Amino acid sequence: MLAGLRREFEAGDDTFLLKLRGDRLEWDRDAFSRLERAMRAACELYQGRDRLDRWVAEGFYDVSRWVRDWTSHPHFPRPKPAEYHDACLERLDDLADWFFRGFHSYIEPHTWPDL
């Protein structure tokens, strides 16, 4: 599980971050879903732990900030509808919040809907 997250955070082949940056500028919905699921699984794995792996913490921090900044540029071809894009950015914020706090802000039982 963490190997897949590391690959996503390092923008390996066919990952969301690789497709998002550079000359591609592509928001790949399937790749976003893989990234989001890997981040959610890491939140569950790290929940309640006192120590965090630096690469995971850096990845959560970078993704939650960089994706919003990069895709908010007026010339970035954002996915439609706008509500989907907004929901994805909110999800990244929610996951970073969960990861760093050790718990999410939703009342249990909470189901994370697919985006």
Contact (Cβ atoms closer than 8 angstroms) between residue 25 and residue 76:
yes
Cα–chain center distance at 43: 11
HEC readout, 8-32: HHCCCCCCHHHHHCCCCCCCCHHHH
Q: What is the pLDDT of residues 19-74, one digit of tens each?
A: 998 778 999 999 999 999 999 999 999 998 989 999 999 999 999 999 999 999 99
Tally of CB atoms within 10 A around 64: 20
What is the torsional sign of CA 57, 60, 63, 69?
negative
pLDDT at position 29 is 97
In the chain, the percentage of residues whose pLDDT exceeds 70 is: 100
Arithmetic mean of pLDDT over the chain? 93
pLDDT at position 96 is 96
pLDDT at position 94 is 96
Looking up tokens 């039982």 gives 109
